[in-house]
Chain A
Amino acid sequence: MVALANIGLIPRPVHPTGVWSWLTTVDHKRIGLLYGFTALAFSILGGIESLIIRAQLAAPNQSIVSPETYNSLFTMHGTTMVFMVVMPAGAAFFNYMVPLQIGARDVAFPRLNAFSYWVFLFGALLMNFSFFVGAFPDIGWFGYAPLTTNEYTTTGATDYWLLGLQVMGIGSLAAGFNFAVTILNLRAPGMTLMRMPLFTWMTLIVAFLLILAFPPLTIALTFLLFDRFFDMNFFNVSAGADPLLWQHLFWIFGHPEVYVLILPAMGIVSDVLPTFSRKPLFGYPMIVFAGIVIGFLGFGVWAHHMFTTGLGGWASAAFAGSTMVIAVPTGVKLFNWLGTMWGGSLRFKTPMLFAVGFIAMFLLGGLSGVMHAVVPVDTQQQDTYFIVAHFHYVLVGGSIFGLMAGLYYWWPKMTGRMLSERLGKWHFWLMFAGFNITFFPMHFLGVIGMPRRIYTYDADQGWAALNALVSAGSLVLTFSVLLLLVNLAISLRRGEKAGDNPWEAPSLEWATSSPPHHYNFAVVPTVRSRYPLWDEEANVVEPPPLPPHEEPHMPSPSYWPLMLAFSIVMLAVGLLIWQWHALIGIGFIVVMMVLGLRSIYGWVYEPPAVEAPAAVHAHT
């Protein structure tokens, strides 16, 4: 409102604390915390959705929820966990850690970074807002057209789904550009590409995947939007449209998206393992190279999600082949991780437990993935619980375990306090057990024929016992997550103080204080090796914090990222209003376009920092 009140020259906000300081922040660490907190909040929502699903399926012929509600539950569980939990959790870590790991004071475009977060948050809220106006989306997380066109949907919830996803995608694209430039351009002196910590490397690859994979999704969503709002024909089969077009475009995005979800976890594990094995990463260049190959090949395997659509022999064979090939670099990574631990002096702290758990669980998920490269096997397993088991091993046993390793590893850096090891170990073992009890039986359920996305089943189908076991497992899993929340709360209140480098880790983020000053490093470090804090321990004494007048000039907070993100999500809202009343909707859209344009001009013409010295501009 302050920003709207005076349209003239608006001074940059200067609040050091309070709500406005968070709304206008451009500090990568604060933005990282915002992403992390948001991911945690949505994980509770997505978790509750999955618990209702498990309650409904715990016994045959139950009717805890209606079939329609059940559809909404699995749709929103999937969409929430992919786009509002795992992606922002990865973003939380790469926002917070990447600038620290490369010895930078912030990202290349701090305001763009804030914009990424706000536009993501608004998109997520818009999608979930559909709950308050009637119905939750019920179309599956992949939203297959033509089933999502007006003809086949009964509620307007699909509009919220597609607009929410579209808006969130803008945030992902912006984050991709920002982190690609940051990692390439903002490395400390001496930090060559091949000296970067693996987490930073994997973030770089993820950044390019976001840049390249989101456009096809954005265009596919635009087609669907035009079909639904303006009666166009992209998915209108009676006008000659191909019912597979959406599937192709969605999975061209969808498979790289899987790597967007898993590569940050792989990066975390590749940083955690050397630290707790006290030994350099085995085959560092091979892991980097494998990551690049995975990112590249990820664009050539999408049709393995479509083997049962009748692609034809040659096409199926080609995509089966590329899918088998992409398993090779993944296997290379697994052996490198084992090689890292081999002969190391292992310390099984909680981060290490999760990292090792990641290796084992991701291996299982990877192996069941390769099975789907075999077309006849895939045909047998398509749309059964075997697939559900497979991708939960990849996304929970893989991504979430990796992210948990990261949380336990970096929490002391982010808060300055240690987490309880005792609670942490309980958390790990309960989560490990609960996860396997929940998802391992699903393999069997799939093979004996239980289809996905059915809201109930009969007692005589022979699925009851395993389903009861699965539902029991989900309770154990839930309990373990509660232990995590307790652990976090205790740590914040009275956790043991963490020093600068509690794990004796080798990378730059541990060279500054915990939590770091807002300017990260009092002076910019110069790097001479891949493991600077191990190789030159004697030189690593972070100078004392700078007195206020000597602090480096950091970019000032700004209203405009928030305003621009707001105007963009309101454009989407304008489309929804348009459906209800054309004139009001168009008027609303015009107003929001003006606000958006105003925000862009405000953004471009505001000074880079409050009372920044003129010399600062010279080189930017």
Chain B
Amino acid sequence: MATEHIEAHEESHPGPRQYVIIGIILVVITGIEVGLFYIEANAALIVWLLILSSLAKFLIVVGFFMHLKFDDRRFALLFFFPLLIMVSLVVVLMALFSTLTR
């Protein structure tokens, strides 16, 4: 009974091996970020790459470590709705304080 449950579990959820792989990916992205930081190039390009890589790490942790990719969609709603509001607020506040063009 217990083993059946675990096998059924394995199909949809990652197991320890996958978690370790995901962990390695996260470390690699972080390494790339730090590498980007030391490259002298077009500032806009580097800044956007840093933002995108942070976003990627964010989504990987939320999706796999927090199981949101496999869990009930309504949990995702509880989390991403506030996130949407907050990201909008940050962008609008930065625009109002003219941070973006300073």
A residues within 8 Å of B by Cβ? 211-212, 216, 242, 248, 252, 299-300, 303, 311, 315
Is A248 in contact with B88, judged by CB distance below 8 angstroms?
no
Is B93 in contact with A212, judged by CB distance below 8 angstroms?
no
Residues of B within 8 A of A300 (CB): 88
Q: What separation, in Å, do the CA atoms of A300 and B88 have in the docked complex?
A: 9
**Is B97 an interface position by the 8 A CB rule?**
yes
Instruction: Pick from B85, B95, B96, B97 the residue with the most CB of A within 10 Å.
Output: B96
Is B97 in contact with A299, judged by CB distance below 8 angstroms?
no
Residues of A within 8 A of B85 (CB): 212, 299
**Is B76 an interface position by the 8 A CB rule?**
no
CB of B87, distance to nearest CB on chain A (Å): 12
Residues of A within 8 A of B95 (CB): 315
Residues of A within 8 A of B96 (CB): 248, 303, 311, 315
Q: What separation, in Å, do the CA atoms of A252 and B93 have in the docked complex?
A: 10
**Is B82 an interface position by the 8 A CB rule?**
yes
Residues of B within 8 A of A211 (CB): 82
Q: What separation, in Å, do the CA atoms of A363 and B97 have in the docked complex?
A: 35
Is B82 in contact with A248, judged by CB distance below 8 angstroms?
no
The contact sample of 16 A-B pairs, CB cut-off 8 A, is A211-B82, A212-B82, A212-B85, A216-B89, A242-B97, A248-B93, A248-B96, A252-B89, A299-B85, A299-B88, A299-B89, A300-B88, A303-B96, A311-B96, A315-B95, A315-B96
CB of A35, distance to nearest CB on chain B (Å): 26
Contact with A along B74-102 (1 / 0, CB 8 A): 00000000100100110001011100000
Residues of A within 8 A of B88 (CB): 299-300
Residues of B within 8 A of A212 (CB): 82, 85
Q: What separation, in Å, do the CA atoms of A613 and B23 have in the docked complex?
A: 43
Q: What separation, in Å, do the CA atoms of A518 and B46 have in the docked complex?
A: 63
Q: What separation, in Å, do the CA atoms of A584 and B45 have in the docked complex?
A: 54
Q: What separation, in Å, do the CA atoms of A242 and B89 have in the docked complex?
A: 17
Instruction: Pick from A212, A216, A299, A315 the residue with the most CB of B within 10 Å.
Output: A299
Q: What separation, in Å, do the CA atoms of A299 and B90 have in the docked complex?
A: 12
How would you classify the secondary structure of chain B's contact residues: helix, strand, loop or mixed?
helix
Residues of A within 8 A of B89 (CB): 216, 252, 299
Instruction: Count how many chain B residues have C-beta atoms less than 8 Å from C-beta atoms of the other chain.
Output: 8
Q: Which residue of A lies closest to B78 (CB)?
A: A180
Q: Which residue of A lies closest to B92 (CB)?
A: A300
Q: What separation, in Å, do the CA atoms of A211 and B95 have in the docked complex?
A: 25
8 A-B pairs besides A216-B89, A299-B88, A300-B88 with CB distance below 8 A are A212-B82, A212-B85, A252-B89, A299-B89, A303-B96, A311-B96, A315-B95, A315-B96
Within B27-59, the residues touching A (CB, 8 Å) are: none
CB of B8, distance to nearest CB on chain A (Å): 20
Q: What separation, in Å, do the CA atoms of A252 and B85 have in the docked complex?
A: 11
Q: Which residue of B lies closest to A299 (CB)?
A: B85
Residues of A within 8 A of B93 (CB): 248
CB of B79, distance to nearest CB on chain A (Å): 12
The 4 closest A-B CB pairs, nearest first, are A299-B85, A212-B82, A315-B96, A212-B85
Q: What separation, in Å, do the CA atoms of A242 and B93 have in the docked complex?
A: 12
CB of A256, distance to nearest CB on chain B (Å): 10
Q: What separation, in Å, do the CA atoms of A56 and B55 have in the docked complex?
A: 58
Residues of B within 8 A of A311 (CB): 96
Q: What separation, in Å, do the CA atoms of A248 and B88 have in the docked complex?
A: 14
Residues of A within 8 A of B97 (CB): 242
CB of B85, distance to nearest CB on chain A (Å): 5
Q: What separation, in Å, do the CA atoms of A211 and B85 have in the docked complex?
A: 12
Residues of B within 8 A of A216 (CB): 89
CB of A613, distance to nearest CB on chain B (Å): 25
CB of B34, distance to nearest CB on chain A (Å): 30
CB of B86, distance to nearest CB on chain A (Å): 9
Q: Which residue of B lies closest to A303 (CB)?
A: B96
Q: What separation, in Å, do the CA atoms of A388 and B70 have in the docked complex?
A: 51
CB of A185, distance to nearest CB on chain B (Å): 11
Q: What separation, in Å, do the CA atoms of A104 and B85 have in the docked complex?
A: 32
CB of B100, distance to nearest CB on chain A (Å): 13
Q: What separation, in Å, do the CA atoms of A315 and B97 have in the docked complex?
A: 11
Q: Which residue of A lies closest to B85 (CB)?
A: A299
Q: What separation, in Å, do the CA atoms of A303 and B89 have in the docked complex?
A: 12
Residues of B within 8 A of A252 (CB): 89
CB of B102, distance to nearest CB on chain A (Å): 12
Q: What separation, in Å, do the CA atoms of A211 and B78 have in the docked complex?
A: 11
Q: What separation, in Å, do the CA atoms of A418 and B16 have in the docked complex?
A: 64
Q: Which residue of B lies closest to A296 (CB)?
A: B85
CB of A259, distance to nearest CB on chain B (Å): 14
Residues of A within 8 A of B82 (CB): 211-212
Q: What separation, in Å, do the CA atoms of A177 and B97 have in the docked complex?
A: 32
Q: What separation, in Å, do the CA atoms of A311 and B98 have in the docked complex?
A: 11
CB of B16, distance to nearest CB on chain A (Å): 28
Q: What separation, in Å, do the CA atoms of A315 and B95 have in the docked complex?
A: 9
Q: Which residue of B lies closest to A211 (CB)?
A: B82
CB of A245, distance to nearest CB on chain B (Å): 8
CB of A389, distance to nearest CB on chain B (Å): 29
CB of A306, distance to nearest CB on chain B (Å): 9
CB of A302, distance to nearest CB on chain B (Å): 9
Q: Which residue of B lies closest to A181 (CB)?
A: B78
CB of A294, distance to nearest CB on chain B (Å): 14
Q: What separation, in Å, do the CA atoms of A252 and B82 have in the docked complex?
A: 14
CB of A388, distance to nearest CB on chain B (Å): 27
CB of B95, distance to nearest CB on chain A (Å): 8
Q: What separation, in Å, do the CA atoms of A311 and B85 have in the docked complex?
A: 21
Q: Which residue of B lies closest to A249 (CB)?
A: B93
Q: What separation, in Å, do the CA atoms of A212 and B89 have in the docked complex?
A: 12
CB of A247, distance to nearest CB on chain B (Å): 11
Q: What separation, in Å, do the CA atoms of A252 and B96 have in the docked complex?
A: 13
Q: What separation, in Å, do the CA atoms of A303 and B93 have in the docked complex?
A: 11
Q: Which residue of B lies closest to A318 (CB)?
A: B92
CB of A233, distance to nearest CB on chain B (Å): 16
Q: Which residue of B lies closest to A315 (CB)?
A: B96
Q: Which residue of A lies closest to B93 (CB)?
A: A248
Q: Which residue of B lies closest to A312 (CB)?
A: B96
Residues of B within 8 A of A299 (CB): 85, 88-89
Q: What separation, in Å, do the CA atoms of A422 and B39 have in the docked complex?
A: 81
Q: What separation, in Å, do the CA atoms of A11 and B89 have in the docked complex?
A: 47
Q: What separation, in Å, do the CA atoms of A211 and B93 have in the docked complex?
A: 20
Q: Which residue of A lies closest to B97 (CB)?
A: A242
CB of B84, distance to nearest CB on chain A (Å): 10
